[in-house]
């Protein structure tokens, strides 16, 4: 049909892998940390510097750049028609001990697609947009994927701006401070379609030697902050039976969630990633502990079961140690299925380019799962060496970086009509 005719014109087009690697390396210099990784927590000075760099590149490539009220940045390349753009993108914020590919790869591959179309003098039927969304990681301000949540209308702007982070500042204050509280309104009009290219961040593709992951869904995420209040007392004089030890209860929760995940099996995972003790001294029984629990499952019913089991265990600990326990939800996302016809297109173009593919769920959260609520959406994964991410050792081989970007190019050309 007409789409076939449009597609076939540019199937020989390829991105410039060296140019893409150059941008990845240059962005990784901003907030660089030992071991080759990056620390650009959302809305810090390092995040601002990274944003400025990517905005400069967008303008050099001729994109019309807008910044919205939650700091999302969208660069648009005009098409023959006006109207909704076919969008790609991801995020450039990182965890404190992040790699250089998580998020950044998807954004910079989007720019590489634009550069390739510019070089070839190709104008698409529909506009093409490359976006990076604010605070995808959620490491400083929860929930994660905040920018895409606000972009799609799933989180009110005021609530996002009022969010207080781990250092006591708010999203709104920090957006103002780094000059990324922009004029574009949110929620925004839905794109025509959304494709996010990302490193897998897990071991599946690397282990089986598959080049391209066709991401069909994102697993459900449940983040809870737990505060335990007990009684401080002398470590030497307080008999064990008389303690209300917030620290012990915290340790019991860590132990419990590991066992819970093992018992539930399947793809249930459970993590305590942040913990604080008060007063945090060698000879004082802690009177307060604060920790986070991250539970994930591809199955919503099983995720709810894990949450219920945790809640019941907190009740038991409350009784056993006579402590107070309060919980606060930091983030809660049900599993998200992606659009089947988008997955088919990714698979088709990967195979046409001679690449091996496998269909898979995503273990990590991504902005695409928010976009999926407003437009046809899917994701492309490339292998992560040893499945390592959220670690400075995160790595993806150059040929896989190039292959993923070429699949992105082909899918965007088809969707935008090139």
Residues near ligand GLV (CB under 6 A)? 136-137, 144, 364-365
Min CB(244)–ligand GLV separation in Å: 33
Contact 281, 247 (CB under 8 A): no
Residue with Cβ nearer Mn ion (230 or 365)? 365
> Parallel, antiparallel, or unpaired for β 128-132 and 86-90?
parallel
Residue with Cβ nearer ligand GLV (47 or 136)? 136
Q: For residues 46 and 51, what is the distance between their CA atoms, to the nearest angstrom?
A: 9
Min CB(364)–ligand GLV separation in Å: 4
Among 103, 110, 127, 286, binds Mn ion (CB under 5 A): 103
Q: For residues 152 and 148, what is the distance between their CA atoms, to the nearest angstrom?
A: 6
Min CB(396)–Mn ion separation in Å: 13
Q: Which of residues 326-365 bind Mn ion (CB under 5 A)?
A: 364-365
Which residue number is nearest to ligand GLV in terms of Cβ?
Answer: 365
Residue with Cβ nearer ligand GLV (295 or 310)? 295
Min CB(144)–ligand GLV separation in Å: 5
Residue 99 contacts Mn ion per CB under 5 A: no
Min CB(99)–ligand GLV separation in Å: 12
Say how many residues touch Mn ion, by CB under 5 A: 4
348 among the known binding-site residues? no
Min CB(366)–ligand GLV separation in Å: 7
Partner that binds at residue 414, options Mn ion, ligand GLV, none, CB closer than 5 to 8 Å by kind: none
- Which range, of 101-109, 116-124, 155-163, 319-327, touches Mn ion by CB under 5 A? 101-109
> CA nearest 200: which of 99, 95, 113?
99
Residue with Cβ nearer ligand GLV (144 or 307)? 144
Partner that binds at residue 103, options Mn ion, ligand GLV, none, CB closer than 5 to 8 Å by kind: Mn ion
> Parallel, antiparallel, or unpaired for β 128-132 and 73-77?
antiparallel
91 among the known binding-site residues? yes
Min CB(103)–ligand GLV separation in Å: 8
313 among the known binding-site residues? no
Residue with Cβ nearer Mn ion (250 or 407)? 407
Partner that binds at residue 47, options Mn ion, ligand GLV, none, CB closer than 5 to 8 Å by kind: none
Question: Omega of the bond prior to 187 within 30 degrees of 0, cis?
Answer: yes
399 among the known binding-site residues? no
198 among the known binding-site residues? yes
User: Rounded to 5 degrees, what are φ and ψ at 417?
Assistant: 80, 80
Partner that binds at residue 206, options ligand GLV, Mn ion, none, CB closer than 5 to 8 Å by kind: none
Residue 139 contacts Mn ion per CB under 5 A: no
Q: For residues 319 and 316, what is the distance between their CA atoms, to the nearest angstrom?
A: 5
Residue 64 CB: number of other CB atoms within 10 A? 13
Min CB(96)–Mn ion separation in Å: 11
Residue with Cβ nearer ligand GLV (365 or 383)? 365
Q: Calculate the alpha carbon distances from 59 to 71, 115, 337 in Å.
A: 17, 11, 34
Residue with Cβ nearer ligand GLV (57 or 133)? 133
Residue 102 contacts Mn ion per CB under 5 A: yes
Q: How far does CA 131 lie from the centroid of its chain?
A: 13
Residue with Cβ nearer Mn ion (118 or 292)? 292
Q: How far does CA 47 lie from the centroid of its chain?
A: 15
Min CB(317)–ligand GLV separation in Å: 26
Residue with Cβ nearer ligand GLV (61 or 364)? 364
Residues near Mn ion (CB under 5 A):
102-103, 364-365
């Amino acid at each position: 049909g007409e789409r076939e005719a449009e597609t076939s014109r540019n199937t020989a087009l390829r991105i410039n892998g060296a140019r893409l690697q150059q941008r990845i390396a240059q962005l990784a210099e901003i907030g660089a940390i030992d071991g080759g990784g990056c620390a650009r927590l959302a809305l810090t000075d390092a995040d601002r510097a990274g944003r400025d760099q990517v905005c400069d590149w967008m303008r050099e490539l001729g994109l019309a750049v807008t910044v919205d009220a939650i700091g999302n940045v969208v660069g648009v390349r005009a098409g023959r028609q006006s109207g909704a753009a076919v969008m790609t993108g991801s995020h450039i914020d990182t965890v404190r001990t992040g790699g250089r590919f998580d998020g950044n790869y998807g954004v910079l591959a989007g720019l590489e697609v634009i550069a390739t179309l510019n070089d070839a003098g190709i104008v698409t039927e529909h506009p093409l947009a490359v976006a990076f969304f604010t605070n995808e990681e959620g490491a400083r301000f929860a929930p994660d994927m905040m920018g895409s949540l606000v972009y799609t209308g799933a989180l009110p702007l005021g609530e996002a701006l009022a969010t207080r982070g781990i250092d006591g500042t708010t999203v709104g204050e920090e957006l103002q401070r780094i000059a990324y509280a922009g004029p574009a309104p949110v929620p925004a009009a839905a794109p025509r379609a959304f494709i996010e290219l990302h490193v897998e961040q897990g071991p599946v593709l690397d282990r089986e030697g598959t080049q391209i992951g066709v991401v069909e869904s994102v697993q459900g995420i449940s983040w809870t902050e737990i505060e335990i209040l007990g009684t401080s007392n002398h470590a030497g004089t307080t008999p064990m039976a008389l303690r209300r030890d917030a620290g012990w209860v915290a340790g019991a929760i860590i132990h419990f969630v590991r066992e819970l995940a093992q018992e539930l099996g399947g793809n249930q995972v459970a993590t305590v990633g942040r913990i604080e003790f008060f007063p945090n001294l060698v000879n004082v029984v802690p009177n307060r502990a604060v920790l986070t629990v991250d539970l994930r499952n591809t199955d919503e019913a099983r995720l709810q079961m894990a949450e219920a089991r945790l809640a019941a265990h907190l009740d038991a600990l409350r009784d056993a140690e006579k402590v107070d326990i309060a919980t606060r939800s930091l983030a809660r996302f049900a599993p998200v299925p992606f659009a089947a016809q988008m997955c088919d297109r990714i698979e088709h173009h990967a195979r046409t380019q001679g690449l091996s593919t496998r269909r898979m769920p995503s273990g990590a959260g991504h902005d695409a799962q928010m976009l999926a609520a407003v437009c046809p959406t899917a994701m492309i994964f490339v292998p992560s060496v040893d499945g390592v991410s959220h670690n400075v050792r995160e790595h993806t081989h150059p040929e896989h970086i190039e292959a993923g970007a070429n699949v992105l190019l082909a899918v965007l050309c088809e969707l935008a009509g090139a």
